[in-house]
Structure 1
Amino acid sequence: MGAIAVFDIGKTNVKLFAASPDGVLLEHGSAPNQVREGPPYRHHDLAGLEDWLLDGLADLGTRHEIEAVVACAHGSGGVLVGADGAAMPMIDYEQAPPPEIDADYAGIVGSYRERGSAVMLGTAHLARQMLWLERHWPAEFAEARAFLATPQYWAFRLSGIAAGEVTSLAAQSHLWASAEARPARLVDRRGWARLMPPMRSAFETLGPLKPEFVRRTGLKPQTRILCGIHDSSANFYRYQAAGLADLTVVSTGTWIVCLTDRAGIDFDVEKPGRACNADVLGRPMPGMLTMGGREFSLVARGEAGPADEETVHRLVAGRTFALPSFGPDDGLFPGTAREGRFVGPLADDPQARFTLGVLYAALLAAECLADLPPAATVALDGGFVKEPMFGRLVAALLPGTRVLVNHDPYGTATGAALLAGHETRRGPAPFDAEEPARAGLPDLSSYRSQWRDLSRRMETVS
């Protein structure tokens, strides 16, 4: 098998990777994911992005024999499409819809079991985007052929084949009841089933690259276009492909996102941060998420690292705490948005602030894990693991649990690339991780209990 091209679409930036069939990333380029203010609303520049993608594929093709192309993306992007392309611009999910759309959406979205996530701000849910388009652009909506999540939009543009895909729809689209592996009831109630194309697996080949793009890129006509995948599910898949199970993955960045293959969550009960995604085979993946990266930045206040062991001891012994929430999101503690504060003897010490931020982030990660069924292994990856103390602190907060730190900074792209060999792989994909050192850190059990009590008291007061 030749190289795999992975198109990774983030909210702020996009990346194009070349990877080996076993997921080793060979090279990549990146560019801003440009947003236009309008009209008709703030939207992504799909035409400019397509030019960048095709030029990038042509460039990669001069150094690698590209065998397949696969897209992965966050879960809040979707495109209304016609016969060959976008029927309406792709909404920037941070764009607020008109107030009446928000009000109407609250009445149609259904129970937590139906939606699998909280009702979030802006247009973070594909169903809310569809409602807005249907109400304000009825002619274009009526003539559209499909509404596609971002990975499937790019698969459609490259292959000409429209498909639905479970990991993308299970990621807060509110179009898919993940816990029951079926479309949400609002799809039929709204008459939107006609816009939901047949479901295909993330690893399936939809078709070859369209002839016009073969000519544009110079890639071979038989280049396979895979259906594509949600970014968090792609990252989880790289562990599945390596043979790991009984597993929770904690991915860190702007968001701390926890996903597990363990069952046992009651999806009739909604809790702050709780979500339900799906893996590549459509199985429910309970999850938790909170804006840990944003919170860390507001606690650290620009102070430089690294975190150090001595300061951890001083913070714990003196009972200095960062109490949620510092950003505009309640996170795991309802009613605490922008109410975050510091208490304890080192609260005003700038030299302790970075280490306090890392400790706070580790506590948030542990709090997310506490709401999920326990797994034998917890794997940490993403931006936070660049700071060694984060992995050590999470491990110290989880005595008796095997904790692994994965330093691959591009796990989403690695997992997406591995999809190309899903149907032919005969053994585990390569995987390298380490267990963080727990020795030398203080016992965090009572500190964690006190932090949790104080945080819940903040919730009550707020």
Structure 2
Amino acid sequence: MSIVAVFDIGKTNVKLSAASDDGRVLETLSTPNKVKDGPPYRHHDLDELEAWLIDSLAVLAKRHDIGAIVTCAHGSGGVLVGGQGAAMPMIDYEQPIPADVDACYRTIVGPYRERASAIMLGAAHLARQMLWQEMHWPETFAAASAYLATPQYWAFRLSGVLSSEVTSLAAQSHLWASADGRPATLVESRGWQRLMPPMRRAWETLGPLKPELARRCGLQATTRILCGVHDSSANFYRYQAADLSDFIVISTGTWIVALTDRLGVDFDVELPGHSCNADVFGNPMPGMLTMGGREFSAVAAKASGPASLQAVRRIVASGTFALPTFGSDDGLFPGTADRGRLQGPLAEDEDVRFTLAMLYSALLTAACIRDLPPAGTVVLDGNFVVDPLYGAAVAALLPERRVLVSRSTTGTATGAAMLAAHEKRTSPVPLAAEAPDISDFPELSSYQRRWQALIKTMEQIS
């Protein structure tokens, strides 16, 4: 059995796991993903993160025979590279960008088919981050040798090899036209081809760990460095590795990310919340995006879980709702940004607040699923499934669908670790998911219709 070190970079936290190449996570270390206010802008502390990574690899190396290292990360993170490291700090995508950059970007970025997502708030999208650096630090940008998505940046730091990879570029970077499997025309029009290294597969070995790093970490000089993968595509891959098809995967955390292998979407038409990612093979994956984790936190406030079935019954019977959107982005519902509110007799009842947040998250999840091409199976995954009533609520909201809940909360790390055995795997991996029990769950169809009607009214008066 080969052991894989999975460097999993989330927006809020970073994890390093030791996992078998069939996806079993054996041990995990974690640290906050720290952000500095500047200068020159709010950015992630790459130097401190690298020091933590090397120290943590050394810790895991004492307990596990690590043969490969792979990085998976959220989208909208990238690094301008010069020489052997970062030419400029890695931009925190949640900060505002200068007005001149935003105005220019909107004139050059192209239609939805080129972007594969909406133009989101803040500094989201690698292409917009590149434009910011090009416009405000032109000499540094001109001298740079590459622009790397986060997984490929860390693969570069560990191996010294530059690469690009399809799932990372397809994750709302606006550098990749996912529907057509090609670079966006923006790349050529801005002359950015020189900054885009050759495409490699997520599972490809770029090379061995740098000798000096191998010595510092106590790892073998032959330790393989894989190209790396976008986190949601890594999670999707583990179900592909189980030979599942005709399905939707819901990854939950800061974002609710819905991805499917079902096509039949008109990629020339932009709709709220819609996106198009790519799987590790480069196939387009229609998707949905909404900041469900942030919405959950806004509703739950200081309340703690778990959710209770008694509270669900009270909420539904009383007609109490959480209505979108609490964040500054419309998400799935145009015109609702910053208008989120609680409505109904139990709106001020702290005893049901956590359960109301769970039910709201399930409604957002169901809305994402209904907006995608129908698939035979829906798999729920990620942080939300820790609460068993979340899966039951989604299944109750979608009685016509086969809904499964993952028994693992390590989907991203599991899928990324499986990449290390991609080229030698000869049979499907086991599928660790099961249908939730909804036998005691209240009927939600009328509650869901009322929620939808209230949102429709909000959209009409926006």
Pick the TM interval, shorter chain. over 0.9
Do 1:158 and 1:209's aligned partners in 2 also have CA atoms closer than 8 Å? yes
Do 1:382 and 1:407's aligned partners in 2 also have CA atoms closer than 8 Å? no
Match status 1:233 vs 2:233: yes
Relative to structure 1, the CA distance from residue 339 to residue 127 in structure 2 (aligned partners, 3 Å threshold; closer, same or farther) is same
Measured against aligned partners, the alpha-carbon deviations of 1:79-109 in whole angstroms (never above 9, x if no partner) come to: 1112311112211222322210011011111
Q: CA RMSD in A?
A: 1.5
Do 1:70 and 1:155's aligned partners in 2 also have CA atoms closer than 8 Å? yes
Measured against aligned partners, the alpha-carbon deviations of 1:30-64 in whole angstroms (never above 9, x if no partner) come to: 12222222222222221222121112222222221
Aligned equivalent of 1:155: 155
TM superposition shift of 1:175:
0.2
Relative to structure 1, the CA distance from residue 11 to residue 296 in structure 2 (aligned partners, 3 Å threshold; closer, same or farther) is closer
Aligned equivalent of 1:425: 425
The amino acid that maps onto 1:49 is L
**Structure 1: distance between partners of 2:385 and 2:181:** 33
What secondary structure is seen at the aligned counterpart in 2 of 1:18?
A: strand
Aligned equivalent of 2:370: 370
The amino acid that maps onto 2:428 is P
**Structure 1: distance between partners of 2:50 and 2:241:** 30
TM superposition shift of 1:374:
1.0
Do 1:114 and 1:184's aligned partners in 2 also have CA atoms closer than 8 Å? yes
Measured against aligned partners, the alpha-carbon deviations of 1:406-444 in whole angstroms (never above 9, x if no partner) come to: 132221111100000001001112332221012122322
TM superposition shift of 1:302:
2.4
The amino acid that maps onto 1:67 is G
Relative to structure 1, the CA distance from residue 77 to residue 445 in structure 2 (aligned partners, 3 Å threshold; closer, same or farther) is same
How do 1:434-445 and structure 2 match up within 5 A? 434-445=434-445
Match status 1:260 vs 2:255: no
TM superposition shift of 1:393:
1.0
Do 1:22 and 1:430's aligned partners in 2 also have CA atoms closer than 8 Å? no
The amino acid that maps onto 1:78 is G
Do 2:75 and 2:173's aligned partners in 1 also have CA atoms closer than 8 Å? yes
Relative to structure 1, the CA distance from residue 442 to residue 37 in structure 2 (aligned partners, 3 Å threshold; closer, same or farther) is closer
**Structure 1: distance between partners of 2:313 and 2:34:** 45
Aligned equivalent of 1:303: 303
Aligned equivalent of 1:190: 190
Relative to structure 1, the CA distance from residue 304 to residue 61 in structure 2 (aligned partners, 3 Å threshold; closer, same or farther) is closer
**Structure 2: distance between partners of 1:441 and 1:84:** 56
Q: Which moved more, 1:305-314 or 1:194-203?
A: 305-314
Aligned equivalent of 1:289: 289
Match status 1:165 vs 2:178: no
**Structure 2: distance between partners of 1:56 and 1:254:** 24
Measured against aligned partners, the alpha-carbon deviations of 1:374-424 in whole angstroms (never above 9, x if no partner) come to: 111111111211211111111011113111111322211111000000010
TM superposition shift of 1:4:
0.4
Aligned equivalent of 1:248: 248
| Unpaired stretches in structure 2, ≥5 consecutive residues | none
The amino acid that maps onto 1:236 is F
Aligned equivalent of 1:57: 57
Do 1:261 and 1:285's aligned partners in 2 also have CA atoms closer than 8 Å? yes
TM superposition shift of 1:308:
2.7
**Structure 1: distance between partners of 2:53 and 2:437:** 42
- Normalised by the length of structure 2, the TM-score is 0.97
- Normalised by the length of structure 1, the TM-score is 0.97
Aligned equivalent of 2:103: 103
Aligned equivalent of 1:318: 318
Measured against aligned partners, the alpha-carbon deviations of 1:176-210 in whole angstroms (never above 9, x if no partner) come to: 00111100000000000011111000000111111
What secondary structure is seen at the aligned counterpart in 2 of 1:395?
A: helix
**Structure 1: distance between partners of 2:375 and 2:132:** 40
Match status 1:40 vs 2:40: yes
Do 2:385 and 2:409's aligned partners in 1 also have CA atoms closer than 8 Å? no
User: Identity of paired residues, percent?
Assistant: 68
Q: Which moved more, 1:256-265 or 1:401-410?
A: 401-410
Q: Which moved more, 1:3-12 or 1:334-343?
A: 334-343
Measured against aligned partners, the alpha-carbon deviations of 1:307-355 in whole angstroms (never above 9, x if no partner) come to: 3333333333333222222232222111112222333333333333322
Do 1:8 and 1:16's aligned partners in 2 also have CA atoms closer than 8 Å? yes
**Structure 1: distance between partners of 2:49 and 2:313:** 49
Aligned equivalent of 1:449: 449
Do 1:108 and 1:186's aligned partners in 2 also have CA atoms closer than 8 Å? yes
Relative to structure 1, the CA distance from residue 180 to residue 320 in structure 2 (aligned partners, 3 Å threshold; closer, same or farther) is same
The amino acid that maps onto 1:79 is V
Relative to structure 1, the CA distance from residue 40 to residue 434 in structure 2 (aligned partners, 3 Å threshold; closer, same or farther) is same
Match status 1:16 vs 2:16: yes
Aligned equivalent of 1:178: 178
**Structure 2: distance between partners of 1:94 and 1:338:** 16
**Structure 2: distance between partners of 1:198 and 1:430:** 34
What secondary structure is seen at the aligned counterpart in 2 of 1:322?
A: strand
Do 2:120 and 2:329's aligned partners in 1 also have CA atoms closer than 8 Å? no
The amino acid that maps onto 1:66 is I
